[in-house]
Structure 1
Amino acid sequence: MSKTREYNVKLAAMGILEPELHYGIYARHWWTSRPSEKNQNTEKFLIPIRPGQKSIVILNQRQFTIRIVKLLDNNIYIPGYCAESLELSSEISISSTAAITSLYQQLFNKNTKFSGPLLLGWDDNEIIKELSSDVCFFPFSISYNKLNIFIHGIGVSNKLELKNAGDGYHATILHFYKKKRSYFHQFIQNNTCKIQIICENRIEVEYTDNTPQTVWEKVWNDSKVLYEYNGITLFGINSSKTQQQIEDLKRLTCTTTEWNNQDQMNKLYNYYIKRHIKSSNINWYKLFLTWIEKKITIIELYSELSKIYPLNYKLKNEEIGRWKTFLKAVGCSNIASFTTEESKV
C-alpha cells in the first residue's frame, strides 16, 4: 500500500468565513473533508473552504502559492483555485489539483500530478485547527442510500411534531426537479416548515405547511420527486446526529446572572448572530455591561441597538430576528417584534 506523501505547507492567509456562503443555500460547496478521509465510511469532520485562503509550499525547490477565490458558476458562487509561482499563475479552476498540477507541468515539463487539498494543508492538524478556530457550527451530511441531506443550520423548539427542531433549522438536498439540477432548501421559520426549490439561483416554487410530512405532501401533489421517502426523513430531523445537535443547542443558553461571563456570552453571540450576519464590527457586549451596571430590567430593542450600530445603518428583519433569538437564549423574555419591513437604526 502506497503511503500518502507529506508536504511542508505553510498557511499564509486563512481567508474569511462568509455567512452567505458557509451557511446559505449553497453551503455544501464551501465545506470539505480531510483528503485522508475521503474514501472512509465514517462520519467526516468538515473543514471550511475559505475565500482568501493562501497556502505556500516548496515543490522541486520552487515556491508555489495556492489561493482560494469565489468563482461564479451558473449564477452561484463556488470555490475557485489559482496556483502562482513568481510571475506565473494558473487559470482559475474549480479543482485545486488541476490548478497546481497545470502550473507545475508548465514550469517543469513533467507529468507529475499533485493533490491540491494536501497542498492547501487540509490534512495538516495545525492548519485545520486554525481554519476552524472561529467556526461556531459545523454543517454535516446525512445519507440514505444515494440521497444526501446537507444540514447547514440548527434551531430548537418544543414542538414534538418537529422533533424539537425550530427556527434557524436549514437542510438542503441537491436533486433533479423537472429534469433540472435543483436545490431543495428545507427550513423552519416561525415554527412553520418551508421548502424552496431553486434552479440557477432562482426560486422555482415554494411550499409551506405545519410539518415536514404535510409540506412534502404538497410537493408530491405537483411532482413525485423523492416520493419514496417520508417528509421527516427528507428534512433530516429524525437522524441521531441532528437530534444530538438539537440537544447540544438546548444547552447553549444562559441566564441574566451570567452576563458577566464574557467567554460564555461570546460563544452565544457567535452562534446566534455572528455566523449568520456579515456586518461591521460592533461593540455588542457594551450593551450587556450597561444593562448590568444600571440594573435595567426593561429594554427597548430598537433604541438600544441604535447605540452600537453605525449612524444611518439599516437593520433588516433577519438581523432583528437574530437579536431576538439571541436575547431569548441569554435569559430575556417578552421580546416585542418590529412591524416595519426594515428598521432604520
Structure 2
Amino acid sequence: MSNKHYTPGNIITIGNLISELHYGPFLRDWWYFSESESENSNIYPIPLRLGFQVSLKLNQKVFTVKIIRSIQNPNIPGFICEGEGVDSGVLSSSSNAINTAYKKVFGQSKTKYPGATLLGFHDSHVIQQILDGVGFHPFTICLHNSIRIFIVSILDKNNGEGFVSCFMYKYKQKQSVIWQKIVKGLYSISIFQNGKIIKQFQDTSASLVWKQTQLLQNYNGDDLFGINNPIVQFKIKELREKFLSETCNLDDWNNERIMRHMFKLYLKKHIPGDEELWYRVFNRWYNQKSTIIEIKSFIHEVYNDNHEIGTRELRAWRAIFGAVGCKNITPFKGDISTMEFWSRAKDSKSDEEIIFNLYSNGFLNTKLNSTIRNKEFDYYKDTANVFWYSFCESFDANPNGLNGKSRILSIIAENFTYEELMENLQISPKTVHAAREYYRKNGPGCKTVDKPVIVRKKMDEIKEREFELFFADKANVNMSSYHIDKKTQLPVLYLKDQKSALWEKFSVTYPDGMKRTSFMARLQNGRFKYRDDLGGLCQICNDYSYQPFEDLIKLVSDNKMDKKVKNELINQLEVLRRHLKKDYENELLVHDNGTTSHVDCINHCLLYAFGECKEQHFSRCTACDQFFEVFINLSQILGHSYNTLLSEYQDKLTCYLAHQTRKGYLNAQFNAALNELDEHGAVIVVDYKMRILPATARETKSEFFGKRGWTLHTTLLFQKKDNEKMDVQAYDHWSCDTKQDAWFTASCFEAVFNIINPRPRWIKIISDNGGHYHNSELMAIISHWYDWYGIEVRGWIFLEPGEAKTTVDSHHATVYQLLFFF
C-alpha cells in the first residue's frame, strides 16, 4: 500500500483554527506532525482545522470526510466519513473513518486507504491552503531521546514572556498533560488529566517550580521547559534579531549576538574569505591600550597578501565603525594622504587633539602609504637597517632567558614574516613561533598573564550527610551484622542495585547533592559491595529465593533439550529473579506517611495483597505475570514427572514474593515515623544482638541460634531539636546470661526512660516480631507506662527480623569490632 499513489480529495471547507484547541494543552492531537518534522525545522506541522471537509471519490463513489470534536472527549479531534447514505460514526482517526464507511458501502472489502494522504496532508498544494493564516507553527523537540516536548509559543521579550510548552508524562500513576508557560515573570506548571486541571504550581524560575512537582528531579528545569534546546534558542534568536537596532556602542562589543547583527548589516556582502576574521579586528582594538587606529593597516589581517582594499569595502568598514560608536578623527583630507585615523573612545576630543598635534608638528609621515607591505618601502631601506640592528642588539642582550626574548620579539612578530625575522635577527623558526604564541596569549610586549589560582574545596558537610542518609536506607543496601570493612572500620554494605541505577536514584532524591564522579569514587574500593552472596543475611531470602532459583537453573541445565530452548528458559528464570529481587519492590506504592492506596495494576496493589481493596483493577504487570508463565513453560518442556518438584519451588517463591511485599511496606514505616516527629515526641528502635561471639559473614541466622555468649540489647532514641535537627542517642544494656525475655526488655526500657532528658511526651516503638517483644507480659507492662513515666505509647510497629533496623545493625557491628580488638 505504501508504494501506491492516492489522489487527495477536493477541499469543500477549509475549517477554522481554534486557539484553545490548536494552541492549548491538547494541541498534540490537533496538529499532524510528520516523521521528519522534528529533524527539519523547515517542515511545518499541519493543523487539523475544526470543520475541515474534503470530498473523496473511491471506487466511483463519492464520500465526504469532516473533522469535528470527538463526542467522548471534546478536547481531541474526531473524524466522520459519509457517503451513499451511510456514515462511519465519529472515530479517532481519518483512516478508520474512511475504511469503515467504505466497508459499509462495498461490504467486507480488504482495501485500506491512508487517511492522511487522502485528506491532502502529503500534497504541497493542499498543505499551502491549510497553512494559510497560521501565525505560529508549533514544533517538537526531544529531551535525551525520552521526552517529546511540544513548543506552543516562543518568547517575544528578553524576560521569556509568552513562552509555552507541554509534554505527556505520568502523574500519580496516570498519563497526564504537563502544561508549562511563563506569565509576568512567573513560571507555572498545570497538570491535566481527562481534560481537567488537577494540580497547578508556580514559582520564579523553572528549576524551583519543577522542584515543587517532585517529578523528573534529575532533569534541569529549563531543559524540561525546552528553553535551553538549540532549536528553540535558534527560533528565539531569529525573533529577537528582528528588533535589534542598527547601531550600538562600545559596551556592546563583547555581545557577540549584537556584533554579528552589525556584521550582517554592513560587512557580510563585502568581506571575502572566512567570516570569523572580521571579529578579530574589533577584539584586538577593544583589548589594546590605545583607542586610536589607522584603518587600513589595522584591518589588513582580514585580507590575504594579494588583496587590495576596494572603495566599496573601505566604505563598508567605515559604515560599521560608525555604527558601533567609533569616530573618524583624521585631521587632513584625502588629497594629502591615504591614511585614515579612527577613535573608539566614548569622548574622542582628546584623541582628536593628539592626532592633530602630531600632524601639525610634522610627526605624521603623510607621504607613506598606510599599508605595511608597500612597494615604496625600499626608499626607507637605511632606516630599516638601523631598526633591525638596534632590535637584534636588544634581543641578544636581554637577561631574562627565553621567556624575556619571546616577550620582546612579540612586539613585531605578527608584523613580519618568518623569513624576514629569521634573516634579520638570525633566529630559529621555533623562536618566532614562541614569540607569536606569546603575542596571542599576552599581547605585544605585555607582561605575562598570571595563571589563575585553583583552590580545591572539600565536599560540603551537608552533601556528605546526604550520601550517608541515602545509604542508610534499607531500600538501597543490605547491611552485614558481622562483616567490617578493614579500612573504615564500618559495617559492609551490600548494594541492592547497580551503581549507575543507584546514582540515578540519588540524583533524583538530592538534585543539589554531590556530582556523579564524587558519588562513584566513594563506592569504589570501599565498604560497598556488589554481586556478593547475600544469602547469609536473611534466612527467608536464602531458603525461598536464592536457593530455589539456583536449583531451577541447575535443573534446566542438566536436562537434555534443545540448546536454544534451554538458554531461553535460563534467561527467563534470571529475568524473573532480578524482577522479584529489585524491580518488584520499587513498583509498590507507599506514601510518606506510611500508608498505601489503590493501584490500578492488581500485581502492585498493596491493599489487594492485604485483603483490604474494594475497587476494581484493570491492568496487570507483564513482568510479574512471568512468575506463572515460567512454571507453565517448565512443566510443558520438562514433563509431568517434574510437576511435584516444580510445585514445591513455586510455593517457596510465592512465600518469597509475600516476604518482599511485607518488607517493602514495613521498611517505609521507619521513615514515616520519623516524618511524624515533633519536639515533644520520640521514635525508639530496639533490637537484641545475637550472642556476642566471633561469627563468619556468611552463616545464616538459623545457624546462630543456640550458641552461648552474652546478651546485648540496644535502644536507639530519635528526637528532634528545634523541629529541624535530628538527635540520635544509643543505650546499650548487657546481660551475662543468654535469656532474652519480656522482663529484661522491660528493664532496659525503664533504664532508658529514667535518664532521658528531656523526657518525650509520646513515643513510637519499632522492633522485630520476636517473642521477647511480641508477648502479653510486655504489653501489660506498657499499659502502665503513662502512669509511671508520663509517656504515651502511640504505636508499636513489629517488623520481620532483620528489616528496617539498619542503624541498629550498624551500631551492633561497631560494638562487635571494638570488642574484637579489645
SS at match of 1:207: strand
Q: Give CA-to-partner distance per residue, 1:4-33, whole Å, 9 cap, x none.
A: 422142111110011111111111111013
SS at match of 2:70: strand
| CA distance in 2 between partners of 1:89 and 1:95 (Å) | 14
In the alignment, is residue 50 of structure 1 matched against residue 49 of structure 2? yes
In the alignment, is residue 11 of structure 1 matched against residue 11 of structure 2? yes
Contact 2:84 2:105 in 1 (8 A): no
Query: After the TM superposition, which residues 51-90 of structure 1 pair with which residues of structure 2 at under 5 Å, given as runs?
Result: 51-74=50-73, 76-90=74-88
| CA distance in 1 between partners of 2:180 and 2:38 (Å) | 28
In the alignment, is residue 133 of structure 1 matched against residue 132 of structure 2? yes
Query: What letter is aligned with 1:104?
Result: Y
Query: What letter is aligned with 1:232?
Result: D
Q: Give CA-to-partner distance per residue, 1:33-71, whole Å, 9 cap, x none.
A: 34xx47996555200001111111211111111110011
SS at match of 1:204: strand
Deviation at residue 180 of structure 1 after TM alignment? 1.3
| CA distance in 2 between partners of 1:182 and 1:248 (Å) | 32
Query: After the TM superposition, which residues 170-319 of structure 1 pair with which residues of structure 2 at under 5 Å, given as runs?
Result: 170-220=164-214, 225-251=215-241
Query: After the TM superposition, which residues 86-165 of structure 1 pair with which residues of structure 2 at under 5 Å, given as runs?
Result: 86-109=84-107, 110-144=109-143, 145-159=145-159
| CA distance in 1 between partners of 2:92 and 2:242 (Å) | 37
Contact 2:189 2:201 in 1 (8 A): yes
Change (3 A) 1:39 1:132: closer
Partner of 2:21: 21
What stretches of structure 1 of length at least 5 have no aligned partner? 160-165, 256-345
Deviation at residue 247 of structure 1 after TM alignment? 2.1
Change (3 A) 1:3 1:93: same
| CA distance in 1 between partners of 2:38 and 2:162 (Å) | 30
Contact 1:80 1:93 in 2 (8 A): yes
| CA distance in 2 between partners of 1:79 and 1:208 (Å) | 30
| CA distance in 1 between partners of 2:121 and 2:141 (Å) | 22
| CA distance in 2 between partners of 1:236 and 1:2 (Å) | 35
Deviation at residue 202 of structure 1 after TM alignment? 2.6
Contact 2:55 2:64 in 1 (8 A): yes
Higher strand share: 1
TM-score normalised by L of structure 1:
0.65
| CA distance in 1 between partners of 2:118 and 2:222 (Å) | 40
Q: Give CA-to-partner distance per residue, 1:168-206, whole Å, 9 cap, x none.
A: 111111111001111111100001111112222332222
Query: What letter is aligned with 1:93?
Result: L
Q: Give CA-to-partner distance per residue, 1:266-289, whole Å, 9 cap, x none.
A: xxxxxxxxxxxxxxxxxxxxxxxx
Q: Give CA-to-partner distance per residue, 1:112-157, whole Å, 9 cap, x none.
A: 1111111111111111000001001000111122211111112233
Change (3 A) 1:85 1:72: closer
SS at match of 2:50: coil
| CA distance in 2 between partners of 1:201 and 1:61 (Å) | 41
Query: What letter is aligned with 2:114?
Result: S
Q: Give CA-to-partner distance per residue, 1:55-91, whole Å, 9 cap, x none.
A: 11211111111110011445x5111001111422111
Contact 2:166 2:178 in 1 (8 A): yes
SS at match of 1:77: coil
| CA distance in 1 between partners of 2:38 and 2:103 (Å) | 30
Query: What letter is aligned with 1:79?
Result: P
SS at match of 1:17: coil
Change (3 A) 1:131 1:71: same
Q: Percent identity?
A: 33
Greater than 3 Å deviation, 4+ residue runs: 37-44, 251-255
Deviation at residue 244 of structure 1 after TM alignment? 1.9
| CA distance in 1 between partners of 2:27 and 2:113 (Å) | 26
TM-score normalised by L of structure 2:
0.28
Change (3 A) 1:143 1:254: closer
Change (3 A) 1:6 1:40: farther
Query: What letter is aligned with 1:24?
Result: G
| CA distance in 2 between partners of 1:247 and 1:39 (Å) | 20
Contact 1:186 1:235 in 2 (8 A): yes
Larger radius of gyration: 2
Partner of 1:267: none
